[in-house]
Structure 1
Amino acid sequence: MALTGGLLIPAASAQASVPSYEFASPAFGLATAPDGSLLVADAGAGIVELRNGVGTLAAPLPGVTDVAPIGRGDMFAVTGGGEDASARKLFRVSGGATREIADLGAFEAAVNPDGEEIDSNPYDVAALGGGKALVADAGANALLVVDQQGNVDWVATLPDELASTANAKQLAGCPAAPPEFAFVCTLPEMIPAQGVATSVAVGPDGAYYVSELKGFPGPIGASKVWRVEPGTRHAECGTSPACTVVADGFTSIVDLAFAPNGTLYVVEIDEASFLAVELGSGTSGTVNACSPGSWTCTPVATGLSMPMAATVGKDGTVYALTQGLLPGAAKVIALS
């Protein structure tokens, strides 16, 4: 990831869009509806619509992790892992009513595209033409495609890669880590880390752009944005020519969002990695803007608390969902 000089917008200068709305939390996804309202995937309650400074629960769907508008009042939504009967599913939401389209957890159990431990945690969804949906399954390390009949196939898998344990050791306080983290201090310098697919966005070129978090040990600067050729099926990123890296050097990416002008916004939950957030010390999330073609990326907001997602409003305003993991504290802010 090439960083250029540019205006940094500190979190303190951003304005809360809906200061009076209290999300049930955790909140993970953010999208712009065709009418300009904002949609928030509030896993504690469901899909929340923010319109003209007022928030309303548009569709009850506990466990929802992301939403992708299709038309006015019509959208795809995915639920993450859990024990509830609605977990690991793709839904179609119309007029506030939800209809199950596909059981993504069952697909992972039956197919397991990456060949590793069976684990499904659908995290992000994007609408595709022809009534199809793309789903980034963070547990499966895979990008999936679902048609309107509910048939599921896998598009690509993200590879395991060797990653430095230096950041994990520092965060754990090695060599004097507390007993529960003492094992971190005994790790070798490099260990395999899973890709962890956290977001998918369809680019202006029609390609599928997929972000990776990079799992434990939470390395710094090791997350990538992958480009997958349109129509691809069964590509193993890292070896397949249909899946290539267009931007890297990020830390713990959790969301991607394209603007109408083609700019790609990349959200990093924390510059010290997701592991810092889990350990309670994360305070430095970033939203970056990347120019297609050159893929030069510039931070547009730094020092954010747990940014989980970004979207671009119809008027060009860039919004971010912050403090998404804090009970009752999630909020949507305007960055520009």
Structure 2
Amino acid sequence: MTEVKMPQLSGIEVLASGLDSPRKLSFGMDGALYVAEAGRGGTGASIPSPSVPGASVFYGATGAITRIQNGNVERVVTGLPSLALPNGSDAAGVSDIEFDANGNAYAIVGLASNPANRDTVLQVPDFSQLIAIDSFENGGSWTRLRDFGAYEQANNPDGQNVDTNLYDLLINDNTAYVVDAGANDLLSLQAFSSEVNLEAVFPARDVTNPFTGEAIVQQSVPTAAAIGLDGALYVSELTGFPFQAGTAQIYRLNAEEQPEVYAGGFTNVVDLAFDQSGGLYVLEYDANGLLNEGDAGALIYLSPDGQTRTTIAGDELINPTGLEIGANGDIYISNKGFVAGQGEVLRLSLEQETCFNQATVNGAAEHWSGLFSRSHLLGDQGAFDYVYNTGGDLDPSMSVVSR
């Protein structure tokens, strides 16, 4: 009987350091790895901090997109908007970069506030936008494509406070999916048109405030989207206050595009990615919960049927924020994402150790309705090649160069 092996960590390399609040990352068709840096804020206009009561976050054009290629690390797009505490931590800014099947680059810019604050206080329209990266030369240039802050202001699908914080971008065929962590929803644009479609709202739940004992509403705070081998969308959540350990879930959107729990028992999840067997990598920002001591995250692997899991990395990760799978199965992680000037990109080398039975994989095919081939799933062989067949030759000896 054939056995399929679970991955285990065999080594970690630091590919880049000195980054300002790195977030999600993605391989381009040139084989380079591109990293979104939320920045360090600045000394400009301020709005209330979304996470520190009584504090303010200040604007500065310190966000960036960094390229890692052939032994070099270079900030190729600079001057993107950023908000952060005075010490540069807890930043909101560019949070993800993705490429379409033709190699065109797109990014999303977060806000973590009511879009009215963007318009009347900050007066920086690039926040809460999907943007097209027009050039990576001479500091880069970009064009605003869609104002998701305006959508939240006009619609507020979850019925909670009006709030937007674009956090994850997924491009599949000719559709862009945007996870809005502030609005608790998943939105899409067909053919990058001007019309925003609501894919799903992620449910709040009733919990107890650990400090007062009162019943409160905990928001979902979705953080990432990925497409499984069944063609369905899977979405992770951070969970809102009080951020309890073991309560974050992975949702699967069913045929009616309603979120159903696929797997639970996670803590403060910020990213996820499927491998070629249908196994799921889940990245936790803080494995103990945000209100508890320690900053260690975790990378967890969930078997293709969702029944078996193993922790690949724990204490090696400090507040990780982004996850990408390389050509040879290596894992690339944005690490130390909370503070400015200390962010890293790590490459995790894996080996296959702990075994589970091939019947597990066969069961996954039954568990997921309609197992598609990848080229059909992504609607484009070039898109498949881009996601799975790039970026295997990065040099670990690198330093950051700004321009």
TM-score range with shorter-chain normalisation? 0.7 to 0.9
**What is residue 112 of structure 1 aligned with on the other side?**
156
Deviation at 1:73, TM superposition (A): 4.7
Distance 1:58 1:297 in 2: 38
**What is residue 31 of structure 1 aligned with on the other side?**
26
Deviation at 1:94, TM superposition (A): 3.7
- SS of residue in 2 equivalent to 1:109: helix
Q: Which residue type is aligned with residue 17 of structure 1?
A: L
Deviations 1:109-160 (A, max 9, x none): 0011111111111111100222x21011000000011131221111001111
Q: Which residue type is aligned with residue 268 of structure 1?
A: E
Query: Structure 2 matches for 1:1-336, cutoff 5 A?
Result: 9=9, 13-18=11-16, 21-23=17-19, 25-44=20-39, 45-60=63-78, 61-62=80-81, 63-71=93-101, 73-81=103-111, 83=122, 84-96=124-136, 97-130=141-174, 132-147=175-190, 148-165=192-209, 169=210, 184=211, 186-188=212-214, 191-229=216-254, 235=257, 242-276=258-292, 281-303=293-315, 304-336=317-349
Deviation at 1:297, TM superposition (A): 2.3
- Structure 1: unaligned runs, 5 residues or longer: 170-183, 236-241
Change (3 A) 1:99 1:116: same
Q: Which residue type is aligned with residue 18 of structure 2?
A: E
Deviation at 1:95, TM superposition (A): 3.4
Change (3 A) 1:244 1:109: same
**What is residue 176 of structure 1 aligned with on the other side?**
none
Distance 1:76 1:9 in 2: 32
Distance 1:73 1:153 in 2: 24
- SS of residue in 1 equivalent to 2:149: helix
Deviation at 1:218, TM superposition (A): 1.0
Q: Which residue type is aligned with residue 72 of structure 2?
A: V
Q: Does structure 2 conserve the Cα–Cα contact (< 8 Å) formed by 1:163 and 1:222?
A: no
Change (3 A) 1:289 1:195: same
Q: Which residue type is aligned with residue 329 of structure 2?
A: G
Distance 1:106 1:323 in 2: 31
- SS of residue in 1 equivalent to 2:231: coil
Count how many residue pairs are aligned between Structure 1 and Structure 2. 294
Q: TM-score, normalised by structure 1?
A: 0.81
Q: Which residue type is aligned with residue 69 of structure 1?
A: F
Deviation at 1:27, TM superposition (A): 1.5
Q: Does structure 1 conserve the Cα–Cα contact (< 8 Å) formed by 2:6 and 2:303?
A: no
Q: Does structure 1 conserve the Cα–Cα contact (< 8 Å) formed by 2:7 and 2:301?
A: no
Deviation at 1:197, TM superposition (A): 0.9
Distance 1:94 1:205 in 2: 33
- SS of residue in 2 equivalent to 1:219: coil
Distance 2:24 2:35 in 1: 6
Deviations 1:33-66 (A, max 9, x none): 2333211110113211111221122323332011
**What is residue 174 of structure 1 aligned with on the other side?**
none
- SS of residue in 2 equivalent to 1:274: coil
Q: Which residue type is aligned with residue 274 of structure 1?
A: L
Runs of 4+ deviating beyond 4 Å: 5-8
Change (3 A) 1:302 1:9: farther
Deviation at 1:272, TM superposition (A): 1.6
Q: Does structure 2 conserve the Cα–Cα contact (< 8 Å) formed by 1:319 and 1:333?
A: yes
Deviation at 1:294, TM superposition (A): 3.3
Change (3 A) 1:295 1:54: farther
Deviation at 1:250, TM superposition (A): 0.2
Distance 2:339 2:244 in 1: 23
RMSD value, Cα: 2.2
Percent of pairs with identical residues: 34
Deviations 1:158-197 (A, max 9, x none): 11112354xxx5xxxxxxxxxxxxxx2x233x53210011
Q: Does structure 1 conserve the Cα–Cα contact (< 8 Å) formed by 2:274 and 2:280?
A: yes
Change (3 A) 1:159 1:71: same
Q: Does structure 2 conserve the Cα–Cα contact (< 8 Å) formed by 1:74 and 1:95?
A: no
Q: Which residue type is aligned with residue 21 of structure 2?
A: P
Q: Which residue type is aligned with residue 15 of structure 2?
A: S
Q: Does structure 1 conserve the Cα–Cα contact (< 8 Å) formed by 2:277 and 2:304?
A: no
- SS of residue in 2 equivalent to 1:150: coil
Report which of the two structures shows the higher radius of gyration computed on alpha carbons.
Answer: 2
Deviation at 1:215, TM superposition (A): 0.3
Q: TM-score, normalised by structure 2?
A: 0.68
Deviation at 1:229, TM superposition (A): 3.7
Q: Which residue type is aligned with residue 296 of structure 2?
A: S
